[in-house]
Amino acid sequence: MKNEKILKRIDSNTNELGYDFKNYKKIQKHYKNLKTPWKADVELGPLEGRVLTLYVKHPRIKSLVEFDEDKIISFIAENANVQLVKIKPVIYIDNHLSG
């Protein structure tokens, strides 16, 4: 008897890690319109469920992103129609990441 495999339909908008590509694309589209003085020092990271990661270049920028978290969440909710619960700024130095 052959082993029967149960096939699972793959949702291309999410994966097993919880990355949400459909809503990430919406955020990406509207993020460029966010008006903040620190935006040039920040790169969009993945959207994990309802938590958006932002890669920042300096600890000072991380503090500014944390300070503006509510503003960012409101902007994304209003413009991209994506409800976030948290912004997670992560410092990156060259090719190394730190929390």
SS (H, E, C) 69-86: HHHHHHHHHHHHCCCCCE
Q: What is the CATH number of the domain that holds 79?
A: 3.30.300.180
pTM: 0.77
Return the percentage of the chain with pLDDT > 90, whole number: 60
Cα–Cα distance, 64 to 36 (Å, whole number): 10
> How far is C-alpha 42 from the geometric centre of its chain's CA atoms?
11
| Residue 68 lies inside a defined structural domain of this protein | yes
Q: Is 98 left (phi over 0), alpha (psi -120 to 50) or beta?
A: beta
What's the pLDDT tens digit per position in 58-68?
999 999 999 99
> Domain of 86?
34-98
Question: 94 or 56, which is more confident?
Answer: 56
Q: Into how many domains does the chain fold?
A: 1
